[in-house]
Amino acid sequence: MADIWAVPLASTDFNIVVSFLGGFVSLFGLVSYLLKENYYLSEALISLLIGVAFGPHGANFIRPDAYTGCSGVTDVACTEDRLAGITLNFSRLVLGVQLVIAGVQLPSKYLWREHKSLLLLLGPGMIGMWLATSLLVFAFAGTHSFLHALAVGACVTPTDPVLSAVIVKGKFADHNIPKELQNLIVAESGANDGLGYPFLFFALYLIKFVGSGATSGGAGEAMGLWFAYTWGYTIILSIIYGAVVGLLAKELLRWAVKRNYVDRESFIVSAISLALFVLGTCGLIGTDDVLACFIAGNAFTWDDWFRLETLDDSLQPTIDMLLNVSIFLWYGAYIPWTEFRHNSIIPLYKLVPLGVLVLLVRRLPWIFGLHRWIHQITGTHQALFVGFFGPIGVSAVFYLFITLEFIEKFLSDEEGNPRDDVAHLGATVKIVVWFLAVCSVVVHGLSIPLGKIGYLAPRTLSRVLTETSMSTSGDLGGPNNGSTFSTIARWFPSGNGAGGVATERVIGPPMSTSATSEVSKPPPMPPSSDVPLDALGPGAAPRQEARNAVRETQIRFHDELEPRNGTRKEGGSGSSSLRPSPSPKPSQSPRPPPSPKPSPNPN
């Protein structure tokens, strides 16, 4: 009987992870605008740090090993294989949805109209990034051959579309990045993400057929497979398939909309469903699903119809945010943090300079050298910005698991043991790619807030020191004359840009009522325009000119607000009139002639 009243606690892994994910997204949403728009912190960086804090290396709320269904520590191989499969498919899902959204965001026929700029970035730009990264990996990681370094460098060559979206959305992008440059960054990150296949498989095919433990065939068979399978089947077929599916989906949706067959919710979600369809079907036929998703998204809005119809809808950014938060929470819990310090491949004192040099040399020199032929990049500062912000993230993890899968299938024996010449290739690519992804998320996630602090801190400090020195030096830089606080008079430009008005600011504690009234009292107006300005003391002429400029602007502003019906109001009625009403004319005798004006003082 007592068992019936017992509380049925079910601390299953599903309940824990769903509770944690919902709680984190809710709490993050409460301060999301403050963190992203005021402090310029990316949701990827925050999610990664939270994943580390609550993962196996922290509070252990997120336990990736428990979700595999294996028997724990007794079956390590099963756990690693299933975790790799979960992470690969999760990354594919995020990339597919993100790339369709990126393709939809581009203007009409963007890939065709801007093909010259994109070809420069996807051709010489990507080749330079690939070779520079491979040379650094070969120098610091000490790979078995340069072909192994080329395979590792190919994984981190594409710029990540998930992290690139951070710098083309929000207040910072609206204020600092021109719209043409935003579109170029989106297009490049989407296109080169799918074009990482040729660089990766160029190295992997040569390792299979040319390495010390290579099978028969040689370089000829390797290049034959590379051109036929990688370029023909994987790349070209993916482009054709994505374009056909995207255009067909657009025409079908348009046909249904004209006949009122589609409700608003289904219309908005059509881009997400297109991403899922292309992702699944490309996976079935074994082609480049990532590139096909980007092409399908751009073809889906080729005539700008769907993009303009969903411009103000928030479903796509909402799905984007949920996927970003979820994937980087998973990465934070899954990343092999202990292997960065304890491994026999590359020590930590070599990993750190490798990460720094890759972020500096991988992309920046090549974009800077090509920017004068890319019309969207105007000026050195934009070239430096685009060259620096080439993040490494989800796409690198995707190619990491593609490489590990190729090693297991084609570079290992029947028992799953890799060849002697590639025995350390899997561990090398795993450690280097994960470490570079972490460096990129942290550095690129903190670059904008740190840059803002570095830009604003000296100016804020200078202003504080200036006001402090002025408050202790007396009025207008003069001697203090025994007073602790002083009144500083300054000229501030008026809002309409016509001259200035004299204002005074008090530094120090509140004064008495009489003192305050004396400080805030404006300079006296001249009694009459007939009185020479020299007779009113020094400084009267500039003050009178400023008042005249303000009065003329007010009158002009008032005249522009008057109704244009052919009549002209001189003073208006009530207190809303800005022009003083003319004094009434006397009704008795004619006005006497004015007295002669005194001649101005020649001195």
SS3 state of residue 503: strand
Q: How big is the chain by its Cα radius of gyration, in Å?
A: 34
Per-residue pLDDT of 267-298, as tens digits, reads: 999 999 999 999 999 999 999 999 999 999 99
| Per-residue pLDDT, 313 | 85
- Mean pLDDT in residue range 149-171: 88
How many residues would you count in the chain? 603
| Per-residue pLDDT, 412 | 87
Q: How confident is the model at residue 200 (pLDDT cuts 50, 70, 90)?
A: very high
Please provide the average confidence, as pLDDT, over all residues in the chain: 80
Return d(Cα 122, Cα 196) in angstroms, integer. 10
Per-residue pLDDT of 395-427, as tens digits, reads: 999 999 999 999 999 998 877 788 888 989 999
Return d(Cα 453, Cα 141) in angstroms, integer. 35
Alpha helix segments (H runs only) across 142-195:
146-155, 161-164, 171-176, 179-194
Strands 500-507 and 486-493: antiparallel
- Mean pLDDT in residue range 213-217: 72
Return d(Cα 428, Cα 425) in angstroms, integer. 5
**DSSP one-letter code for 375:** T
Contacts of 381 (CB under 8 A, 6+ apart): none
Residue closest to 400 by CA, chosen among 429, 425, 423, 439: 429
- Amino acid at the residue 159: T
| Per-residue pLDDT, 500 | 40
- Mean pLDDT in residue range 561-587: 43
Residue 191 has pLDDT above 80, yes or no: yes
Return d(Cα 474, Cα 477) in angstroms, integer. 6
Q: How confident is the model at residue 210 (pLDDT cuts 50, 70, 90)?
A: confident
| Per-residue pLDDT, 352 | 95
Per-residue pLDDT of 29-46, as tens digits, reads: 999 989 888 888 889 999
Residue closest to 357 by CA, chosen among 443, 458, 260, 454: 443
Question: Are 195 and 129 a contacting pair, CB within 8 Å?
Answer: no
Residue closest to 446 by CA, chosen among 115, 167, 250: 167
* Encoded tokens for 541: 């002429």
**DSSP one-letter code for 588:** S
SS3 state of residue 81: helix
Per-residue pLDDT of 66-90, as tens digits, reads: 887 775 555 677 888 899 999 999 9
Question: Are 570 and 581 a contacting pair, CB within 8 Å?
Answer: yes
The segment with the largest mean pLDDT, out of 34-38, 430-434, 448-452, 538-542, is 430-434
DSSP lists the bridge partners of residue 492 as 501
Return d(Cα 188, Cα 160) in angstroms, integer. 10
Check: CATH 1.20.1530.20 for 13-459?
Answer: yes
| Per-residue pLDDT, 573 | 39
Residue matched to tokens 């990460």: 355
Handedness of CA 329, 334, 338, 339 (dihedral sign): negative
β strands within 58-193, DSSP E: none
Return d(Cα 421, Cα 148) in angstroms, integer. 10
Return d(Cα 484, Cα 362) in angstroms, integer. 58
| Per-residue pLDDT, 66 | 83
Return d(Cα 475, Cα 487) in angstroms, integer. 6
* Encoded tokens for 169: 């959305």
SS3 state of residue 178: coil
* Encoded tokens for 204: 């992997």
Residue 266 has pLDDT above 90, yes or no: yes
- Mean pLDDT in residue range 244-251: 96
Host H or E run for residue 242? helix 237-258
Per-residue pLDDT of 489-547, as tens digits, reads: 333 333 333 334 333 434 344 444 444 444 444 444 444 444 444 444 445 555 566 56
Contacts of 292 (CB under 8 A, 6+ apart): 194, 238, 239, 241, 242, 245, 278, 282
* Encoded tokens for 352: 């750190």
Per-residue pLDDT of 330-341, as tens digits, reads: 999 999 999 999
Share of the chain above pLDDT 90, in %: 53
Per-residue pLDDT of 316-328, as tens digits, reads: 888 989 999 999 9
**DSSP one-letter code for 169:** S
| Per-residue pLDDT, 311 | 87
The segment with the largest mean pLDDT, out of 225-229, 445-449, 586-590, is 225-229
- Mean pLDDT in residue range 418-439: 94
Task: Calculate ∠ Cα 287-215-288, nearest 5°.
Answer: 10
Residues of the chain with CATH 1.20.1530.20: 13-459
**Cα–Cα distances in Å, from 435 out to 51, 193, 201, 348, 389?**
16, 19, 22, 10, 17
Contacts of 189 (CB under 8 A, 6+ apart): 102, 158, 159, 160, 161, 164, 165
Return d(Cα 408, Cα 213) in angstroms, integer. 15
The residue that leads in pLDDT, 589 or 244, is 244
The segment with the largest mean pLDDT, out of 12-16, 199-203, 499-503, is 199-203
Which phi and psi angles does 199 have, rounded to 5°?
Answer: -70, -40
Question: Are 496 and 557 a contacting pair, CB within 8 Å?
Answer: yes
* Encoded tokens for 285: 């036929």
| Per-residue pLDDT, 4 | 61
Q: How far apart are the first and last CA of the chain?
A: 113
* Encoded tokens for 375: 């019309």
